Structure 1
């Protein structure tokens, strides 16, 4: 049963964490002190519940809390070896834990335990950080808050900062909190409600002060040549640049992307001071750990051609890498972790918007949210004073902190398809849905493309939220519709790595009953459709320079001459040879092209449900419900082929173990001797 104090803390944390004005995703921490009965002694013991390392306030639950014995935690002051060795105190927190389970204590634990208040909130509100990063932040703190809020000079989070805040609270009994230079705010109270009230008062007072006292144009004049393009135009241009930018962000390691053209971003990029402010970088540690110390800002007019923009982006990428490497070399010491990559995580395109990148879609999206936070911070600081983030040296100390490196090393090993983005056509049901489901389970982001938008979106929702899967409408016989789908996919995830040509249809008729319309219908969807999808996505795969996979779901009928099947089998043979042709053509770009030849997949198949099954059952003289068993009995293994069996083959072909395989057709037919490849 949850302790009432802990339950109250969780409720307060969830309220604070669900408001973006209060703190960013996974940012800040909260705590509460109370008593429980020690199960060993039977005596009351004073405890502290505090949000653990890596948690998120908005979604915090009891397992996300670290529970410490307060007497032992405060006794650590007796063994504190000084600021030069304060990192050792994080490991010491483990010896103060109460009970078992719970989260690992974070670096901010001392801030909560050493401050003499029952409830403490440490938050990262934009308005608070704006004052914290203003050049004269200490004076502004006094003007905005009087003696209720005290300024604390920048110090890296840790045990010493906890001691500093504890001392300030003791010296300022009327204070309800403090502004942490370059960082955020901390507030306290004797009750949970009081702490929350004080936190919100600091945030609101800072907002009101900025609104009342700040300049009306903190970013300077609007630059006409960088004004936002019309929505359709900027999204078209963003999609045209997406593959290039993802390749830039993924030079050292593959990344997933996110695009935003929010008003805050477009306003900032159209301002005269954007280049200067972007170069200064972010300040709050939570911000730059997600966004890198500074973004890459394209410096050509908004209406510049795509070709000119791409050319300049590549030049700026070279400059960015040199600059970041110099930053690393300047500040690294003998015991610093190795450089983690010199590519930008935020790329700003005036008139168009912002691309952000991460190891998965959620991380990329959150990085975007953090840079919007940083824009708001810069706006507030510039409105009141001059934006003055912490120094590059201090940023480096946090970015390459041994404790931060240890946190990264504790992260679980990535799944086989992590950072990969898969586009699957005909994916709302049957084989396509099974493929998308499997690739998502392997760690990929997936685009469910289907003629039926509602079914595509429903299938995507079954697989996961929009950070994992999205549903898009496409008619694979329509080149313009395919281009729109590819554009939407690029804006959703930043790129494409895997293309699965699965969309299909079939009519089972003998030669003399097959009409010209029957022939065109099947060839348009499968042969022409696969060609059009491959043609539309190949430029993305090539421009990213990250390799990739194109998979054709062909059929054992591409090599097996079954009865009453002229149009279907001929178009499958067309697809099968497209595999060979494209394997040769795209190989120089590191793109593998392979095919899968299933036997008839009855269960879950949209094709079979639409009449193909009834026709094939009639051809073979069996009941339709027995068709799967019939197919199984004619195979060597006597096994029915299911959608999941095809999905397994796609997973293997696109995974890390077959990195040197292209131009291959894999039979997934339980063994049909007549369809053996020769």
Structure 2
């Protein structure tokens, strides 16, 4: 096994266990030799996890490869701790070969330590020791001279020098605890390095378990709500909280109600500890320095909880702005936003937020890490994170700002949550795909849950993000209870809904005399009643969020055109078309835009046409069913067949922002049917 392969295997093992390090936290390295392609001689290299990425899924392309002689030579030109950030740019001149990841701020730690293999990790147990008030004494008591305490220092070149000196001065040491930060371990072989890392982590875990106080968060003051009541209250609060957290920039949400979160929020000490904030840089870069905590009991009336959340949010923004002013210097980056990333509600759980679902989920995971850290520190001592000024230096570090500037521009629907009914096939599936491709999180709702799950899985696989992109919801839109439950699923998955596509439909092609009352009721139930129910329930969420939003009806050319043998279908579509006008007039005051799309002749991939409508329409027009799409195309002005993707494109055009001042509009997507021109 090559040195890089050995490093990747070790990284994967360490990163697979959340006890060892948090998501995207820490880095690993290995030193070895390779052939210099220019001289043909051997050159000493270091492979180290680059900036970003996650140990558990690290690939070769995520490694930075550097010449050790060049990195070590930087010691001679190091300008001192006040200018240590300049050294990050110098790493680029130490790279070997082409490609590879950008070197991270921790590169010096790995290169300067005289060991072939180095691990820097952020385990909860290690950070508990690192953030304890008597961390140095605890480190000596737990590990003796095998692990050395390093006082807090911001990650960088000087920290690398400090740890290199510790390794040199303490020949028996296998690693160190970095105050307020994490651990670093080393070894002559990859196996020894991994063994030493796990030794430090497991020893800290065992010591906390054996010597820690059983109730470090104090007595229970508020029991969590029962599961169903907790889920219901979370769904009621989440849109409000998401709207508040999105005051400066729209956010996607994630809900966490794990035992450790609920237990923390039930205990007497959680307000004090939450106010102290997180400590490890990886934590507060994603969670902000402190969460917003609702200070009402779990059974407080909903209206009181909403009012208090609004008050606390206003105070949080004022406090965050004051924090920025206290520590900002003339060359500090501008304040990025004053809204909380973590909102804690006793008895209910945690709402976390980010620019997309993955970021929101990871922020929540990091706060769970922080809870574990606080539990360990309080069990042995008292929790004492790094001070506020140091947190600000990390949060508004120019190197972090430069990383943000390098990120790609958000896609048009980034931060938006879409609900598509009838999303399991045809126009609905095409619309779900387009909205997801443009950055939205999507709830694929369909009466056929298996079909919805297939589309949702496809969207997640395309983005390599599992449930962070799409979920499926089984729903019969004629059922008020099922519609309400589907909306709750959407809210609990992503925090709310921003974009609603009323697409669920069916059609029975029959003449007036052949149309039964059941035929009439079925089509009106699905399309008229169903659209009404979905619009009403999602409007509640949109209004609570106070972020505006879009409702789009997939109506039909037949809403304005009198075609043969479709009285029930055409009448139901006309009902939908007028709902667009009525709701546009009513919801505009809330910034909610309501528009419609009028397709025609969408045969290919259509569930309606495949279920018998196509055969019937083909018989009416006297053409073969497989040529029905061609027939529809030839009767249009453009002579082009309409596909589900064309309808999806119209939905995107209406919701992407370019038509921000348009509401009450019906967009024909029929390749030109003069008789259906709106007038």
Query: TM-score scaled to structure 1, two decimals?
Result: 0.99
1:93-242 equivalent positions in 2, closer than 5 A: 93-223=91-221, 226-242=222-238
Aligned mates of 2:364, 2:476 — CA distance in 1: 32
Aligned mates of 1:393, 1:55 — CA distance in 2: 27
Aligned mates of 2:611, 2:290 — CA distance in 1: 55
Q: How far does residue 287 in structure 1 lie from its aligned partner after superposition?
A: 0.3
1:287 maps to 283
3-state SS of paired residue (1:272): coil
Aligned mates of 2:350, 2:486 — CA distance in 1: 20
1:515 maps to 516
2:387 maps to 391
Q: How far does residue 454 in structure 1 lie from its aligned partner after superposition?
A: 1.5
Q: How far does residue 120 in structure 1 lie from its aligned partner after superposition?
A: 0.3
Q: Kindly provide the CA deviation profile for residues 79-125 of structure 1, in whole angstroms up to 9, marking residues without a partner as x.
A: 00000000000000000000010000000000000000000000000
1:528 maps to 529
Aligned mates of 2:15, 2:439 — CA distance in 1: 27
2:79 maps to 81
Aligned mates of 1:29, 1:649 — CA distance in 2: 46
Aligned mates of 1:68, 1:268 — CA distance in 2: 44
Which of 402, 409, 421 is 2:405 aligned to?
Answer: 409
Aligned mates of 1:455, 1:677 — CA distance in 2: 35
Q: How far does residue 227 in structure 1 lie from its aligned partner after superposition?
A: 1.1
Aligned mates of 1:200, 1:588 — CA distance in 2: 58
**Gap runs ≥5 in structure 2:** 461-465
3-state SS of paired residue (1:178): strand
Q: How far does residue 18 in structure 1 lie from its aligned partner after superposition?
A: 1.0
2:473 maps to 472
Q: Please, which moves more after superposition, 665-674 or 452-461?
A: 452-461
Q: How far does residue 600 in structure 1 lie from its aligned partner after superposition?
A: 1.9
Which of 248, 254, 272 is 1:258 aligned to?
Answer: 254
Q: Kindly provide the CA deviation profile for residues 466-497 of structure 1, in whole angstroms up to 9, marking residues without a partner as x.
A: 10010001110011111111111100000100
2:611 maps to 610
Aligned mates of 1:591, 1:274 — CA distance in 2: 38
Q: Kindly provide the CA deviation profile for residues 362-416 of structure 1, in whole angstroms up to 9, marking residues without a partner as x.
A: 0000001000000000000000000000001000000000000000000000001
Aligned mates of 1:193, 1:525 — CA distance in 2: 63
3-state SS of paired residue (1:220): coil
1:452 maps to 448
Aligned mates of 2:575, 2:274 — CA distance in 1: 52
2:585 maps to 584
Aligned mates of 1:527, 1:600 — CA distance in 2: 21
3-state SS of paired residue (1:31): strand
3-state SS of paired residue (2:219): coil
Q: Does 1:432 align with 2:433?
A: no
2:553 maps to 552
Q: How far does residue 542 in structure 1 lie from its aligned partner after superposition?
A: 1.1
Q: Does 1:64 align with 2:62?
A: yes
Aligned mates of 1:657, 1:201 — CA distance in 2: 57
Aligned mates of 1:440, 1:497 — CA distance in 2: 13
Aligned mates of 1:463, 1:214 — CA distance in 2: 46
Q: How far does residue 463 in structure 1 lie from its aligned partner after superposition?
A: 1.1
3-state SS of paired residue (1:583): helix
2:463 maps to none
Which of 19, 32, 49 is 1:51 aligned to?
Answer: 49
1:572 maps to 573
Aligned mates of 2:444, 2:40 — CA distance in 1: 58
Aligned mates of 1:229, 1:160 — CA distance in 2: 49
2:270 maps to 274
Q: Kindly provide the CA deviation profile for residues 253-310 of structure 1, in whole angstroms up to 9, marking residues without a partner as x.
A: 0000000100000000000000000000000000000100000000000111111110
Superposed CA RMSD: 0.6
Q: How far does residue 184 in structure 1 lie from its aligned partner after superposition?
A: 0.2
Q: How far does residue 459 in structure 1 lie from its aligned partner after superposition?
A: 1.1
3-state SS of paired residue (1:667): strand
Q: Does 1:363 align with 2:365?
A: no
Q: Does 1:421 align with 2:422?
A: no
Q: Kindly provide the CA deviation profile for residues 317-358 of structure 1, in whole angstroms up to 9, marking residues without a partner as x.
A: 011011111100000000000001000000001000100000
Aligned mates of 1:451, 1:281 — CA distance in 2: 45
Aligned mates of 1:534, 1:622 — CA distance in 2: 38
Which of 34, 37, 52 is 2:35 aligned to?
Answer: 37
- How many equivalent pairs are there? 674
3-state SS of paired residue (2:658): helix
Aligned mates of 2:41, 2:606 — CA distance in 1: 65
3-state SS of paired residue (1:656): coil
Aligned mates of 2:530, 2:497 — CA distance in 1: 18
Aligned mates of 1:159, 1:540 — CA distance in 2: 49
